[in-house]
Each structure stands twice: as C-alpha cells, then as structure tokens.
Amino acid sequence: MDILLEWFGYLARWGHVLTAITWIGTSFYFNWLDLSDRKPEVKTLMPNVQGQLHEMHGGSYYYHERYWPTEPPKRLLNHSGPAQLTFLTGLLLIVYIYWLGADVYLLDPSGNSPSLWVSILLSALILFLPYPIYDQVCKRTDNNVVVLVFSAVLILVTGYLALQFFSPRAAFVHVGAMLGTIMALNVHFVIVPNHIKMHTQVRNGELADLAYHKQAKRRSQHNNYYTLPVLFSMLSAHFPLAYGNDYGFLTLFMVMGGGFLLRYARNRKFVTDKTDLGAGLLAILFLAGGIALTYIPATGEVQDMSAFTSDEEKAAFEIVQQRCAVCHSARPTMEGFASAPAGVRFDTVAQMTALKDRIYTQAIAIDIMPPGNLTEMTDDERSRLGQWLISIGAKNLDE
C-alpha cells in the first residue's frame, strides 16, 4: 500500500507538470499570436479577419488568420482541457501533500501553527477565497491597473500571513496555488462559458458578441501575467534561501513582481516590435531586490543553555548541534549552504522536538542524514539520539 501511495505521489506530480506545461505553452502561444498578428495586408481567406501572421517552425511555413466567423467551422478545437487537469492534479497534490501530510509539510516546525484542522481550513481558504473577490474587482472595473494593485496586495498579505502560520515552504506553495486557482477558475467560469455563448451565436447564424470576446481575452491575459509568479512559487521547494530568510514574503513578492514585469516587457515587444528597456530594467531591479533580501542573515531562535530538562535532552541537543546544525541552522556554517536545507532548522530543543519524527526517520530509521555522513556522526551518537527521540514519542514516518 505504501509503495502504491508513493507512486500515486509521483504520478500526480508528473501529471501536474505535464498538464501545466501544456496549459502554459498554449497560453503563451496564443498570447503571442494575438499580440503579434497585424492588420491584413493581402487578400484573406476568411471573413472579418482581425489579424494575420506568418511564422516558421520545424521546417514548415504557417499562415494564421484571426477572424469572426459568419458560419461555424466544420472542425473547431479548443484548449481548456489542460487548464482543468492542471487544477485537478494540483488540488490532488495539495490534499495529498499538505492536508494528509499536514503535520509534516503544512504545520510550521517552530510550532506556530494553529491546530491541524484549523490549518487545513486556512489552506482551503487561501485557495478558494480570493477568486470571488478578484472576480468582483474585474466585474466592477475595466482598469487592469486596479487588478494589478489588487494582485500585488493579495500576494503580499497572503504571503505574510501564510508565513506566520504555515511551514515556510508550504506558505510559498500556497501563494502560488492561490494564483493558480484564480487562473483555473478564470478558464472555468469566464473563458469557457464565453466561448460556448459565442459559438452558440455563430451556430444560430449571428455574429459572435464581441463583449464575450473582450471578457475572455482579459481573463486570459491576466492568466498570462500570473504564470511566471506561479511557476516560481511552485518550484520553491528547492529554494530554502528564498523562503527561509526573515523577509520571505517580501522576497516572494519581489521575485513574483520581477516575473510579472518580464512578461510585461515581452508582451510589449510582441505589440511594438521594440524592446521595452524600462520594463526590462524594472524587472531586473525587482529580482535584484528579492536576491538582496536573502543576504540579510536570518535571525532564527537561540537555545537557552540553562533550560534543559534532562541530561539525555542536553546530550541529544549537543549531538545535533555538532552533526546536523552545521547545515540545519538559521545560519549554517557548512560551506556551500547559504540557508537551512529544506528549511529544517535545529537551533533549539523546541525545533528538534517539533521535528522529532522527521529526525528519527532521516537520521535513525533510514540513516540518510547527515548526507554521506559528512559530519562523521558515530553509531554511538546515533543510538543515543535515537533513544532520546523515542523517549519523547518519535515515530518512523516511513512505516
């Protein structure tokens, strides 16, 4: 059963990445197509042609017309499947990793999280509460600057709050999942229904109402701008330096802002055929700001050396300081480690206690920490650490 469960995790991740690259690929492509086509210069094949474009790929020439049909085409393809599948596989992963594995992955290892159920409820709220608010903002104003400001505040506030009550890694992933949910619900509640309404009109022999086109296009462009920010946060499991510093929410905000600006610069280029140096420079400034924040040493917590409750606890703490905390600390001393790997810190007994099961699993049960036994932990130390862990109720998470 365990093996099957692990495979379920692999396959869900595989499926999620696969559907996400397909979705993002089509989103990027059609966004590029729309912004790059130009008013027709030669005779067109279809009626009401808005834009025309020639391109080359894989040894072939291609020709596109963007048009409003007067009769339904025989074969019409649409691209909403990958968006829906990305959302479903993403939700599956959130439930599997962060809800079913909440005590390991969702809760803050320093013990700052609310109870398990409240944390899971908060996780669900982060995912599903913002869309109705965003949707209202979009319905009340046509001004995309307002949507941009709304998104920036949403990212800052959610990032800040999530870092208060979730593990830093979970917090970063949740901000991305929140934006990803807005993107998927845009497809589900606005873009696809508008396509259906337009196509019903065409099938009834009318011209499609361009108000539907405008709404769908607008949401599709918002999605395009959310893509780079979401991708950063989805990969953040690999970025302990970004989520582990004292200003994680600002780092996330700056990098996401940089991603948005990069996209903006690219989109301007498609429209004008000129490089928008201003937007490009601002993007670099945002990224540099995010990087600069990670140079500020993390403060972290310090153990009160007179507060040990037993000799065994003190001995366990000392072993972990010598063999683990060189890497797993707010300020690692091991060369090559700028931040605590996986965001796991053992600067205090409280942190060790909160992570007792994971220490037991990694260092006692399966014996893979320290990696390659780099810090030369002895068998005697391993068994003493193991005895203390068992005495405080640690269990093997691999069983």
175 vs 377 by CB, closer to ligand HEC: 377
In which region does residue 103 sit, left (phi positive, over 0), alpha (psi from -120 to 50) or beta (all else)? alpha
Least distance (Å) from ligand HEC to the CB of residue 394? 11
Least distance (Å) from ligand HEC to the CB of residue 207? 55
Closest CA to 138 of 197, 209, 222, 195: 222
| Closest chain position to ligand HEC (CB) | 324
User: What SS3 class is residue 235?
Assistant: coil
45 vs 368 by CB, closer to ligand HEC: 368
**126 to 48, 119, 252, 265: CA distances (angstroms):** 43, 11, 16, 29
163 vs 359 by CB, closer to ligand HEC: 359
285 vs 326 by CB, closer to ligand HEC: 326
170 vs 363 by CB, closer to ligand HEC: 363
**245 to 160, 233, 296: CA distances (angstroms):** 13, 15, 8
72 vs 386 by CB, closer to ligand HEC: 386
Least distance (Å) from ligand HEC to the CB of residue 383? 12
The helix, strand and coil proportions of the chain, stated in percent and rounded to the nearest 5, come to 65, 5, 30
**DSSP state at residue 146:** H
Least distance (Å) from ligand HEC to the CB of residue 15? 21
353 vs 375 by CB, closer to ligand HEC: 375
179 vs 355 by CB, closer to ligand HEC: 355
* CB neighbourhood size of 56 (10 A): 8
Least distance (Å) from ligand HEC to the CB of residue 328? 5
Residues 298 and 243: their CA atoms lie apart, in Å, by 11
Residue showing tokens 């593990």: 167
Beta bridge partners of 51: 66
In which region does residue 44 sit, left (phi positive, over 0), alpha (psi from -120 to 50) or beta (all else)? beta
Least distance (Å) from ligand HEC to the CB of residue 298? 16
**Residue ranges that bind ligand HEC, judged by CB under 6 A:** 323-324, 326-328, 334, 341-342, 344, 355, 358-359, 362-363, 369-371, 374-375, 377
Residues 6 or more apart whose CB falls under 8 angstroms from that of 62 comprise: 54, 55, 56
Residues 233 and 116: their CA atoms lie apart, in Å, by 23
Residue showing tokens 């000129």: 274
Least distance (Å) from ligand HEC to the CB of residue 236? 12
142 vs 398 by CB, closer to ligand HEC: 398
Residues 6 or more apart whose CB falls under 8 angstroms from that of 252 comprise: 155, 159, 172, 175, 232, 233, 236, 242, 243, 290
Least distance (Å) from ligand HEC to the CB of residue 293? 22
Least distance (Å) from ligand HEC to the CB of residue 97? 11
